[in-house]
Chains A and B, each alone.
Chain A
Amino acid sequence: MSRQGAENIELHPLEKRVLSLILSEGPLGFDEVAARLGVNVGAVAKSAEWLAEKGLAESSKASVTHVATLGEEGLVFVEKGLPERRLVDALRSMGGEATLAQIEAMGILDKNELNIGIIWAKRNGWITVSKSDNEVRFRLERYPDSKTDEELVLEVLKRGAANLEDMGPLQKACERLGRRPRILRINEVTRYILTPTKKALSLSPELLEETEEISQLTPELISSGAWRERGFRRYDVTTPVKAFQAPRPHPLTYLIQLVKSIFIELGFEEVQGPLVELAFWNFDALFQPQDHPAREMHDTFYLATPAKGDPPKELSAIVGRVHRDGGETGSRGWGYEWSIEEASRLVLRTHTTATTIRHLAQSSKRPLKVFTIDRVYRNERVDWRRLAEFHQVEGILVDKSANLRQLMGLIREFYSRLGLKKVRFRPSYFPYTEPSAEVDVYVERRGSWVELGGMGIFRPEVTLPLEVSEPVLAWGLGLERLALLLLDVNDARILYQNDLRWLYSFNPLKLERLRVSF
């Protein structure tokens, strides 16, 4: 807290008004101040607190009053009569004597009310209770002709809460009823009085003058120096303000950049290939037979226009032979007549392997380490887990010494850098790799393994026609599946919906923390 000299005391407009009032009128109750200034008691209390802090006024407890109000039973009884009254009314109507069963049968008191009524009627000496032949009997001893004090209290309170101290002769009855809190509650209310201090009396009058306060500081106020003459309006810093939304990168591009950076760190070069692809590169060069189910119309988008392209001539002849009988690759081949027509068809590539195989065909660099993250297509009905267009994370490593364990190590390292530390590998099958494997990662949050991609070593039927003799490690991992995991989304379609509420909910820092703590 800063020390405040009298000379730099600053007062809020309300403080000024409150202080002026008690300086001219003398000590006043908060309620009186509020009434005079036309503000509520809470605001006065707040000003009183501030003034007290500045040593300009003191609040003191002036009096304690007790306020009586009706409880939930009281509100009922004020209409229907107190239970003890209703009990004696009933007894009188039965000729002054009745059994419990008879009273109950009349139905004017419920079980609870009857119990209360018996207690109080007995205590008031209105009835006596006896037991004979297993029956409880009541006898009217004295019928209260005039209203009791308690009943009068209820009538007073029916009009609203009242101060106990103002009840006069009924005060005792009111206190008695107060012991039955469901009928009547008595609350203590303290009244405070605000008195100016000596320091306030010696305050210079200018300080209390209501100057025009500055709300928005303007260039004119600064350059003219006028701000020196005027105070600043205090802000309520807790007031809600208009939302500000910083523009965000799309979560998918953010994730793509993250994945790219990991492959760069691991020493891979980025490559890119066509989205509209020759069936030749998408399938044939990858030793997928021309009647392979994956090539069917319900899996692959074929183009109507343009429908056909030009596969590389020389390579086509070699690839065609490999499909037929294995050619020079040491393979048996698929044993069918290969058609260049089929290989000329244009498709929307079904995997990014079409791009890595192209790159493998044209690059003589050894060792070779390249990757691509790009779009692929599947001719599918779109639902919460399947998209017709999505991304793959693809790569190859070509080196004399490359092997399956290294491929597993590389993929394990990749996922570990994304925070997915627990991975496992299973045998799998792709027409273009052998051995092949599938990678699952364990997701703690879900308590389950999630399949994230395939990998393997390119078959000689794939590499030898391209004059590649070294082992080629290859992998293709799903990006959207990873996105669903890392962004904690359940419906893949959300990724491409671009709903601003979702885009603004993306927090790269949260993703980064998740990556560390996965």
Chain B
Amino acid sequence: MPAVTLSVDRLSRLVGVQLTPQQIADLAAALGMSVEEVGEAEVKVEYNPNRPDFGSHITIARAVRGLLALELGAGKYHARASRIVVRAERSVEAVRPFIACALVRSLNLSGEDIADLVGLQEDLHWILGRDRRKVAIGLHDYSKIRPPFLYRAVGPTEIRFIPLDSYEEMTPQQILSEHPTGRKYSWILEGKELVPIIQDSRGNILSFPPIINSSLTELRAGVKEIFIDVTGTDERAVNQALNILVTALIDLGGVAYKTLVAYEGRRRRVYTPDLLKRRWVLDPSLVSRLIGLDMPVREIVNALRRARLDARVSRGKIIVEVPPYRVDILHQVDLVEDVAIGIGYQNLEPILPDTPGLGALLASSRTSDILRHVMLSMGFTEVVNTTLANTERDFKWMLIPKEPDVKILNPVSTLYDCLRELLIPGLLSNLATNSKNPYPQRLFEIGDVIVRDDETPEKTRREKHLAFVICHSTASFSESKSVLEEALRLLDISNDLSARDYPFFIPGRGAALIKDGVEVCFIGEVHPAVLENFGLYMPVACCELNLSKAGII
């Protein structure tokens, strides 16, 4: 989850009320953020990705002002007309097809304001931009550039400019291979012959999206006019990001201007930012039903206004206007949650549902429980292992000449690369873990294994197994056979063991149980070569029973 470190001082100034760190923590939690740390001067919070507008003091202050009823309803967000044109060449279509721009004037940004904006920008890159791939944002000092602007794709060595955090001119290719930011994001442009750039009427490069801006337009404290470019692969997300930034700058006292984006050859001309307010008709009875609280319409309207939405009543329905930065409202139910937040979750008294129901365990759970008791009563201690397994341990160490049925594509940890098909390897690992503990050791596990099954939509099937290991200086086939026989008597399975060699058993000391022509169980003394692989220096006898194949579960 994205995080913001809120300065108590700055947030208080923006809200207009002196707040304590604890008050800020409580307000953040009430807004759906998760409070990580409450310090003396700072409060660290994490927010959910459905609210990409929560990445700054400015925008959080807006929500807090609503919650404290200092300001209700949505603010006024307009953009004036301008003559700024951004021409998008056809060449960008295959590289990064969409662009949206805005100009914001009448600002006077402090260093703090700029840091806040950059924080918001970075979070937007991650949440809406999927790490800049889908959306990338450039913020520019407008006094350094002159419209109209041109968005086009060029060869990677065709142009040169001084990128941020550098003192020398570089080509896009150099930036991608040498500049730290370039190297970090070069993957986005991988395989593209051309790279996108934005330039002004004098031919100055503003930006090389989604990689880096030119140092020419770098923001400094005191900046009065900001030009914003947002480029990307998803037009909706591009516009959302621009709206979130422009509305934040309007909250800082800025005046926004629209730009005309002209897509060459696509016959499309779009004015951005759209600052679109969306209108929703909300059924008050839906609110009462979902929250479980009979609320007068007036109260619902108030709660929505506290959530900084415009709301009014019309013919028994509530007309809600959603400001452009609220990109999370996809359905009426999203407004219902805003009502609940407006009321405060802490003010909703929990009640027990009166829905009748008869509790029942799965038959497989009941059978597993009985088998667990049987194994415990025979002196075996239960272990629980993961189904995530390792080819090395589960197959190579076991001397099983087979590839796993289920292989994982992308394990982050090297501990796992497949799913288990037997419980025994896990149990042998457990014995190795316990080699310093007193003997005899008798362990069992009842658990799932996963095998291929092309008949199911998931191409796999869960099977329930029961396995036990006996480990001490005189552990033997016969001891394990006694245990198995008792289990088989309980399970009402005829006990017809037949000799069978397994790679992991000592030759001549393994046996199988065949039921209706299917092997459902094996039992034997573990081969010392296998014991060595596991780092075990004590004899082991073991048994594994496939409860699913045996028709028990």
Task: Name A's B-contacting residues (CB within 8 A).
Answer: 243, 245, 247-250, 252-253, 257, 260, 263-272, 274-278, 291, 293, 297-298, 301-312, 326, 329-336, 346, 348, 367, 369, 375, 377, 379-382, 388-389, 397, 399, 401-413, 424-429, 431, 434-438, 451, 457, 459-461, 471, 473, 495-501, 503-504
Contact = CB atoms under 8 A, between A and B. Distances in A.
Contacts of A260: 361, 365
Contacts of B30: 426-427
A330 B333 CA distance: 10
Given A303-B406, A311-B457, A435-B290, A459 B333 contact: yes
Interface stretch (B163-171, B340-348, B473-481, B508-516): B340-348
Interface string B360-381: 1110110001001001110111
A403 B333 CA distance: 12
Nearest to A375: B387
A403 B292 contact: yes
A310 B457 CA distance: 5
Given A293-B49, A379-B412, A404-B290, A267 B31 contact: no
Contact of B331 (A249, A311, A331): A331
B360 A434 contact: no
Contacts of A309: 456-459
Q: Which 10 A-B pairs have the closest CB atoms?
A: A403-B292, A267-B357, A427-B32, A264-B359, A429-B48, A408-B350, A369-B357, A405-B292, A435-B337, A409-B350
Given A268-B359, A457-B290, A457-B333, A427 B458 contact: no
Contacts of B48: 428-429
A335 B238 CA distance: 12
B416 interface: yes
Interface string B420-460: 00000000001001100110011100001010101011111
A216 B353 CA distance: 64
Given A388-B413, A399-B355, 15 more contacts: A247-B376, A266-B357, A267-B356, A267-B357, A269-B357, A271-B362, A275-B460, A291-B130, A303-B407, A334-B330, A388-B388, A406-B292, A408-B348, A435-B291, A460-B333
B361 A498 contact: no
Contact of B450 (A249, A276, A379, A404): A276
A404 B458 contact: no
B382 interface: yes
B518 interface: no
A407 B383 CA distance: 34
Contacts of A408: 348, 350-351
Contacts of B458: 274, 276-278, 309, 346
B384 A428 contact: no
5 contacts: A266-B359, A305-B407, A335-B234, A424-B346, A461-B330
A272 B381 CA distance: 26
Contacts of A270: 360-362, 365
A377 B412 contact: no
B254 to A, nearest CB: 28
Nearest to A380: B412
B13 interface: no
B365 A336 contact: no
Given A301-B408, A336-B234, A248 B382 contact: yes
B127 to A, nearest CB: 8
Contacts of A459: 331, 333
B144 interface: no
Given A270-B360, A412-B350, A471-B290, A247 B379 contact: yes
Nearest to B462: A275
Nearest to A267: B357
Interface string B393-418: 00000000000011111111101100
A269 B358 contact: yes
Contacts of A302: 408-410
Contacts of A266: 357, 359
A379 B410 contact: yes
B190 interface: no
Between A303, A346, A412, the greatest number of chain B beta carbons within 10 A of the residue's beta carbon is seen for: A303
Contacts of A276: 406, 419, 450, 458-460
Contacts of B130: 291, 293
A348 B352 CA distance: 34
B371 to A, nearest CB: 12
B361 A264 contact: yes
B352 A406 contact: yes
Contacts of A501: 437
A409 B292 CA distance: 11
Given A303-B409, A332-B331, A397 B419 contact: no
B192 interface: no
A428 B328 CA distance: 13
B201 interface: no
B355 A397 contact: yes
B386 interface: yes
Between B352, B375, B384, B410, the greatest number of chain A beta carbons within 10 A of the residue's beta carbon is seen for: B384
B357 to A, nearest CB: 3
A307 B452 CA distance: 11
Contacts of A503: 381-383
A434 B34 CA distance: 17
Contacts of B372: 249, 253
Contacts of B358: 267, 269
Nearest to A406: B353
Nearest to B379: A247
A482 to B, nearest CB: 15
Contact of B360 (A269, A297, A402): A269
B291 A496 contact: no
Given A253-B382, A270-B362, A427-B31, A437 B355 contact: no
A123 to B, nearest CB: 67
Given A269-B357, A503-B383, A403 B289 contact: yes
A245 B459 CA distance: 43
Given A291-B134, A306-B406, A269 B292 contact: no
Given A250-B384, A264-B359, A330-B331, A404 B459 contact: no
Contacts of A409: 350-353
A181 to B, nearest CB: 51
Contacts of B413: 380-382, 388
B345 A413 contact: no
A405 B372 CA distance: 38
B142 to A, nearest CB: 31
A429 B410 contact: no
A501 B381 CA distance: 11
Given A267-B356, A403-B290, A274 B362 contact: no
Contacts of B345: 425-427, 437
A424 to B, nearest CB: 7
A293 B128 CA distance: 10
Nearest to A271: B362
Contacts of A403: 289-292
A250 B382 contact: yes
